[in-house]
Amino acid sequence: QSGLSQPPSASGTPGRSVTISCSGRYSNIGSNSVSWYQQFPGTAPKPLIFGSDQRPSGVPDRFSASKSGTSASLSISGLQSEDEADYYCSAWDDSLNGWVFGGGTKLTVL
Amino acid sequence: QVQLVESGGGLVKAGGSLRLSCAVSGLNFRDYYTRWIRQAPGKGLEWIAFIGSPGLGKTIYYSDSVKGRFTISRDDARKSVFLQLNSLRDDDTAIYYCSTHHSTLPSEDHWGQGTQVTVSS
């Protein structure tokens, strides 16, 4: 099954910003909202963004996201060492009648 | 406080079966749909099964990778969701997470801590 496309890795220095992209199709990102998840090794994914650009309570406003057409992006400003994690995007796919995920982006804070 | 607790994972031989459970508390379960998502060792997240809320007819969907082998069900009185895993293969080895989301309201979803399934050949 087709999934979403994310860069396998990203990096940034403390205090700076980084953006992670997520590319899909009309049937998924183009037609439905995008969610983003943060996952640390050995733990369950944590919802970071829902509805393409909404943050759950408790998620710092350093995390923001947007969607345009068949692409979405997650931006993290004021990078901190504790932001080192894997980040996944996801969306419902109307053609597959199921969710698709990106392959994940491993963020390194240099 | 919303809590999802998965159980039922373990070590099983190829061709065997397991039944996973996900107990949900802290929300009005009947208003929520639930899905199972798995993560193979060192790999990304893969959605595998969905069951809708009673209000939406408990619609069920499966990914192609598990269709015909896995069965999802829910017991609203017990606030639980189940995943019956049959004809298990080596590539079913993964951590299995359940996740629930309100059927109509835009909001974040909730995840459990996962349960490990290991299939040996």
Per-residue pLDDT tens over the stretch A36-48: 999 999 999 999 9
Name the average pLDDT for chain B: 96
Residues 6+ apart with CB under 8 A from B105: none
Instruction: Find the mean pLDDT for residues A88-92.
Output: 97
The neighbour count for residue B111, using CB atoms within 10 Å, is 21
Name the average pLDDT for chain A: 96
pLDDT-based confidence at residue B79 (cuts at 50, 70, 90):
very high
pLDDT at A1 over 70: no
pLDDT-based confidence at residue A2 (cuts at 50, 70, 90):
low
pLDDT at B56 over 90: no
pLDDT at A85 over 90: yes
Report the pLDDT value the prediction gives residue B106, as an integer from 0 to 100. Answer: 86
B4 to chain A, minimum CA–CA distance in Å? 11
DSSP symbol at A69: T
pLDDT at B8 over 70: yes
Higher-confidence residue of B108 and B92: namely B92
Among B4, B34, B43, B45, the strongest candidate for a mutation testing the A interface, having the largest count of A CBs within 10 A, is B45
Task: Please name which of B1, B54, B3 lies closest in space to residue B31, comparing C-alpha atoms.
Answer: B54
Report the pLDDT value the prediction gives residue B121, as an integer from 0 to 100. Answer: 86
CB of B50 within 8 Å of any CB in chain A?
yes
Dihedral of the CA atoms A24, A80, A51, A32 (nearest 10)? 0
SS3 of A60, please? Answer: coil
Instruction: Find the mean pLDDT for residues B31-54.
Output: 97
